[in-house]
Every structure is written in structure tokens, then in C-alpha cells.
Structure 1
Amino acid sequence: MGTDGFSGRPVLFLDVDGPLIPFGRSAAEYPTYRGGSVLGGCGANPLLGRINPDHGLRLAALSCELVWATSWMAEANDCVAPWMGLPELAVVTWPDPCDLDECDEREGLHWKTRTLVGWAAGRPFVWLDDELTDADRVWVAAHHRGHAYLHRVDPRCGLADADYVAVQQWLTDRTRSE
């Protein structure tokens, strides 16, 4: 661990809705995984059953530090992590909506972008989200002093093999260049 409490590995910021819980098609088109609708104190959220628990092993195998970057915030540790077999992860705390820069929205910048760059504090990071745009990529390139890979996940499918391949390739390339 470094002096900041983190390992020297890159961070992977992970969103839940879209990357892990696919949406946008008819409900009948999505597989439902065993027991996903009732997890501990998470109530009967039918969308949890769409999370493929195999994502936990695949995410844990990546050479990075996983961090929840989702509006689920701490609920991701209570509801999603146990279902996927993940330990409790760090959670990004979002600013109050009143504190967000209204210019960001007008310029197409995602409401999470500034916070994630601040949280990374110069460390290399991957951001998996279904709402990323070129505006986010341009802003991160101009304001983040480390390497960053912003990868948009198709929310209709959620994380797929190609997404894992792309992330692992980026992580491997970073390891070789440093």
C-alpha cells in the first residue's frame, strides 16, 4: 500500500446501472440469475437478478483496485458486492447536486467526471459507465495528470467479453509503459 492507503495499482471506477444491471430492452430479454432479487437487507429489487454473479470473479481478476462509482453509493457494498462475491469496496461519495457545476451539463460533461478525477488524484484509472461521452474524455485528458481510460458500456447488454478484453489490454499497456 502507498502512503495514501492505496496500492500502486490503477483504480477501476465501476457504475452499477448499465454496466452490471443491463436495461433498455424488454424485461423478458434479460436472463435472471438465481437469488438476485432478494439479497440481505436489499428488499425485493427485481433488477438485482439481472446481475451476472460471474462479473465478480472477472472484475476481481483485473489488475486494478475496484471502486464503486455509482448512485447506489454504499448500497453497492450491501446489495451488489455480496451477490458477485466481491469484498467491500471503496465508494465514491458524490457532491450535493446543488454543488455541481451547471456549466458541465450544458457542455455535455457527465455529473461524475470532476469528482472521479479528484478522487483519482493523479492515479491511473479506468471508468466503466454507460453514459460516457467524448466531452468527458476531452475534459479528463485536459484535467487529469495520470493515464485514464473512459470505457462506455452498452447499457442494453451490460459488461460483455469485449469490455473485459479492452480494459485488460489498457491495464496491461499501462503496466508495460510505467
Structure 2
Amino acid sequence: MVDTDRPLLFLDVDGPLIPFGDPPRGGYPTYRSPHVPPGTTPGGNPLITRVDPELGRRLLGLPGEPVWATTWLEDANECLAPWLGLPRLPVVDWPVDDPDATGEPDGVHWKTRALVEWAAGRPFAWVDDEITEADRRWTAAHSPTRTLLHRVDPRCGLTEADFTALDTWLRTA
């Protein structure tokens, strides 16, 4: 059952959950998940071991309804949800086959318009590593409700500061 009183929490995967880019000194940490059998990674994706399984508990603890907003689509439920100990989450179904091929001339990210439409008037926080000021301006002008477009540093992924900002905003939305 969908709780339409809670704001939505749109989650990107690459960057916010799976850090990438210039690795920290010594490389990225890797994890084992207590939610999957030892030695296995759902979907066989080796990058999943960069995802701290504790993020699942932290995400569920936020006062928002989590929704996958990623090109992983249903693979996020098949690969990441088990690793994180999450239930199956709703998935934003993007309006084109290859969203990266739809360059936006006004600098607005290709996800922005689709997320405002998908939210259908509900408040939402969007967590992504590619959010820009153009996205914030467009969303402020076109969303009928409050929004938070929260950019995450893709080299670090979600941090304590990110969770604090999201929790604070979601509680006031």
C-alpha cells in the first residue's frame, strides 16, 4: 500500500549508492552484506560490494517513500535491494529507451521533467550526483509542491551529512 502522505525519496544508484571516480587513497572500501549468502553478489555485479549494506537501514529510517530513480530500472530491485535488505521499491520508468541520448538544450537533466511528472504533485527529494542549478530552477518553476534536489559527491556516495540534510528536509516536507 502506498503512503501518499509521506514525501517521495527518489534514489539514483551510480554515485549516491555506488561511489565512483577518483578512488580515495587505498581504493574504495568493499563490504559483505548480511542480507545475502556469503561470497555472492546479487546480479553478479562486482560494484555492488562498494555499497555499504548499512545504507538500506538508513534509507528506510528516513521519513520518505523510497523510489528507484535510476537507469538500473528493475535491476535495482534485483541486485541492490537484496544487498541493502530493502523490500522491492517502486521504479521510475523513464520515457525513452536511451535517456542519455536525449540531450537537453536548456541544461536540465533528462530525469528532471520525468520525476516531477512521476511525483504527481507529491513533495519529493531527489538524490543524484548529476543535479545542477538548472534542474533546481526548472523544478521550482514547474513542481506544484516542495522539492529538494540533493546532489551527492559521486566519489563518496551518501554521507552522514547527506542523511542529516535529507532527514531534516523530509520531516518538514
Q: Same fold (TM over 0.5)?
A: yes
Q: How does 1:110-129 map to 2 (within 5 A)?
A: 110-129=109-128
CA distance in 2 between counterparts of 1:80 and 1:168 reads 22
- Map of 1:82 onto structure 2: 82
What percentage of aligned pairs have identical amino acids? 56
The answer as to whether partners of 2:6 and 2:65 remain within 8 angstroms in 1 is yes
Deviation at 1:6, TM superposition (A): 4.0
Correspondence for 1:38: 40
Give the whole-Å Cα distance in 2 for the aligned partners of 1:16 and 1:49: 13
1:108-164 C-alpha deviation (Å, 9 max, x unpaired): 110100110000001000000000000000000111101100000000000000000
Give the distance between the partners of 1:134 and 1:66, measured in 2 at CA: 23
2:136 aligned partner: 137
Distance of 1:88 and 1:51 partners within structure 2? 17
Distance 1:165 1:51 in 2: 19
The structure with the largest helix share of the pair is 1
Q: Which residue of 2 aligns with 1:62?
A: 62
The 1:99/1:156 distance shift into structure 2, 3 A limit, reads closer
Q: Secondary structure at the match of 1:127?
A: strand
Q: Which has the higher contact order (CA 8 A, sep 6+)?
A: 2
Counterpart AA for 2:108: L
- Name the residue aligned to 1:48: 48
* 4+ residue segments displaced more than 2 Å: 35-40, 97-102
Structure 2: runs of 5 or more not aligned: none
Q: Kindly indicate whether the alpha-carbon contact (under 8 Å) linking 2:11 and 2:68 is maintained by their aligned counterparts in 1.
A: yes
User: Could you list the runs of 5+ residues in structure 1 that have no partner in the other structure?
Assistant: none
SS at match of 1:167: helix
* From 10, 14, 36, the counterpart of 1:13: 10
8 A Cα contact 2:99 2:110, kept in partner: no
1:100 Cα deviation after fit: 9.1
AA in 2 matched with 1:141: A
Q: 1:39 offset after TM fit, Å? A: 2.6
CA RMSD of aligned residues (A): 2.1
Structure 1 Cα separation of the partners of residues 99 and 152 of structure 2 = 27
